[in-house]
């Protein structure tokens, strides 16, 4: 990693400090604040159209990134040489690490808030329950194993003595689980269609 201060993190706090340095501080601040604040602003506006737009924007972003990651970037990264892979991951991993978890919370939070503003929780339809269950599964996947894999990837990239074998193995596991994530995302978008038509 190019920034002089960055090395293999020894604890969680150091890992996030190095990630923010690697991704640049303004990126880190924006990546965390924008997806978390937009749903709050949408909800407080009291205007469900504003909230709908926030939800659509964040949802489309998450879905698009999941498809791109699982179908294009993952396989491409897997086919690169060790050095090229590490170099690509250096720019990619810290930014994705900082951005995607807030985006996932923002999508689920804006969805729950939107359903509230539309009065849907008064008598939830099967689609709404299904969306909620799938959202919980997606968050568990994202904050659990996917997070562990990407944190491990960051540690290897930040280290002077990158363990390329571990990096490749984490990459592979991440690629497989991102396929599961993609399936859950497709299912949740199907429930969105169900919500739209009142099912
Ligand atoms: C990956 C997660 C999600 C994505 C990509 C997503 C995407 C979308 C999209 C594209 C729409 C517009 C289609 C439509 O009008 O129905 C929508 C609407 C909606 N979403 Fe989501 N959503 C997600 C999660 C959630 C969750 C977890 C909830 C609530 C538990 C939720 C609640 C809603 C509601 C209430 C609408 C409006 C439905 C209507 O217009 O009748 N969403 N979502």
Angle between helix 147-158 and 82-117 (nearest 10): 140
Q: Output the CA 192–ligand 1 centroid distance in Å.
A: 5
Collect all residues with Cβ–Cβ distance below 8 Å to 68 and sequence separation of at least 6. Answer: none
Q: Nearest C-alpha to atom 38 of ligand 1 is from which residue?
A: 196
Q: Which residue has the higher pLDDT, 102 or 160?
A: 102
pLDDT of residue 168: 87
Q: How far is CA 62 from CA 8, 120, 166, 168, in A?
A: 29, 23, 27, 24
Residue 2, pLDDT above cutoff 80: no
Average pLDDT over residues 83-87: 82
pLDDT digits (tens, 9 = 90+) for 123-155: 999 999 999 999 999 999 999 999 999 999 999
Q: Mean pLDDT throughout 59-71?
A: 93
Residue 84 has pLDDT above 90, yes or no: no
Please tell me whether the overall predicted TM-score, pTM, comes out greater than 0.85 for this model: yes
Q: Which residues line ligand 1 (CB under 6 A)?
A: 55-56, 59, 62-63, 107-108, 111-112, 114-115, 118, 120, 128, 131-132, 135, 185, 188-189, 192, 195-196
For the chain, domain boundaries: 12-196
Cα torsion for 198, 52, 146, 150, to the nearest 10°? Answer: 160
């Amino acid at each position: 990693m190019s920034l002089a201060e960055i090395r293999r993190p020894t604890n969680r706090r150091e890992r996030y400090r190095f990630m923010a340095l690697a991704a640049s501080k303004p990126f880190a601040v924006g990546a965390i604040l924008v997806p978390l604040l937009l749903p709050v602003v949408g909800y407080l506006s009291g205007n469900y159209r504003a909230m709908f737009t926030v939800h659509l924007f964040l949802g489309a972003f998450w879905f698009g990134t999941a498809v791109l990651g699982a179908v294009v970037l993952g396989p491409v990264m897997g086919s690169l040489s060790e050095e090229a892979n590490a170099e690509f991951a250096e720019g990619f991993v810290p930014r994705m690490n900082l951005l995607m978890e807030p985006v996932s919370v923002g999508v689920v939070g804006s969805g729950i808030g939107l359903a509230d503003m539309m009065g849907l929780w008064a008598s939830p339809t099967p689609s709404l329950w299904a969306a909620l269950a799938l959202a919980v599964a997606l968050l568990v996947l994202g904050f659990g194993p996917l997070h562990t894999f990407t944190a491990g990837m960051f540690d290897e990239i930040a280290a002077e003595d990158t363990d390329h074998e571990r990096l490749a193995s984490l990459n592979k596991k991440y690629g497989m689980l991102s396929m599961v994530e993609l399936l859950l995302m497709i299912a949740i978008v199907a429930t969105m269609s169900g919500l739209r038509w009142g099912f």
